[in-house]
A and B are shown apart, each in its own frame.
Chain A
Amino acid sequence: NAGVTQTPKFRVLKTGQSMTLLCAQDMNHEYMYWYRQDPGMGLRLIHYSVGEGTTAKGEVPDGYNVSRLKKQNFLLGLESAAPSQTSVYFCASSGSLAYGEQFFGPGTRLTVL
């Protein structure tokens, strides 16, 4: 099993450009999450999904959109990238919501110039 995979691993954008980050999991998990990690701030939840076709806002949702068209995939979109979105993005999945272990992908390092 690959676990949780993320595409791409690195990306550089110019301000105003758009992009989509792809997360895939092969553990048949219902719940999936997108986080951003910034120095000194830990991980902050951007959006999450409790099942196929559902999404919900997390702590820092502004500037991001998500979609969960298939159970195994969770997409994070930036419609108009800003330098403040320079970060490392992690996707995770779990079999339970609040009390489940979250399985993390390797991360995507995004730089917005």
Chain B
Amino acid sequence: AQSVTQPDIHITVSEGASLELRCNYSYGATPYLFWYVQSPGQGLQLLLKYFSGDTLVQGIKGFEAEFKRSQSSFNLRKPSVHWSDAAEYFCAVGAITSGTYKYIFGTGTRLKVLA
């Protein structure tokens, strides 16, 4: 069965430090991969997505993610974190298998940024 794993429930970084949020997926073929961000009390907003082609994708707010097929990973990175990046981040996988639609979210990683 398809699944998405975000191993880190909470991450704390200092402002200006680099960030990497991990995402691993389980799927038979290359799925469609997404990262969303959710600020407190808000809905989710798309940061970036990967369908095919270049395995390093750029998103909004200075975020990027790298698709690694051999590791079944799609980790999110940012070179220098800003205090406004404090939020919860969700990795998601979209797929249509045998006519069945699935769009699966990971359980999220909550990012705290220290001043």
Contact = CB atoms under 8 A, between A and B. Distances in A.
Chain A facing B: main interface SS = loop
A101 B103 contact: no
A2 interface: no
Given A43-B105, A98-B32, A99-B32, A104 B43 contact: yes
Interface residues of B, number: 24
30 contacts: A4-B43, A33-B103, A40-B9, A41-B107, A42-B105, A42-B107, A42-B108, A43-B90, A43-B105, A45-B103, A48-B101, A59-B104, A90-B44, A97-B96, A98-B31, A98-B94, A98-B96, A98-B101, A98-B103, A99-B32, A99-B49, A99-B94, A101-B34, A101-B46, A101-B49, A102-B44, A102-B103, A104-B45, A105-B43, A107-B43
A14 B41 CA distance: 24
A106 interface: yes
B95 interface: yes
Interface string A71-113: 0000000000000000000101000011111101111000000
Interface string A27-55: 00000010100001111110010100000
Interface residues of A, number: 25
A56 B99 CA distance: 12
Chain B facing A: main interface SS = strand
Closest 4 CB pairs of A and B: A104-B43, A98-B94, A99-B32, A42-B107
Interface of B: 9, 31-32, 34, 41-46, 49, 51, 90, 94-96, 101-108
Contacts of A100: 94
Which of A4, A44, A101 counts the most B-chain CB atoms under 10 A from its CB?
A: A101
Nearest to B42: A106
Given A35-B105, A102-B46, 6 more contacts: A33-B103, A42-B105, A90-B44, A98-B102, A104-B44, A107-B42
A44 B105 CA distance: 7
Contacts of B45: 104
Contacts of A101: 34, 46, 49
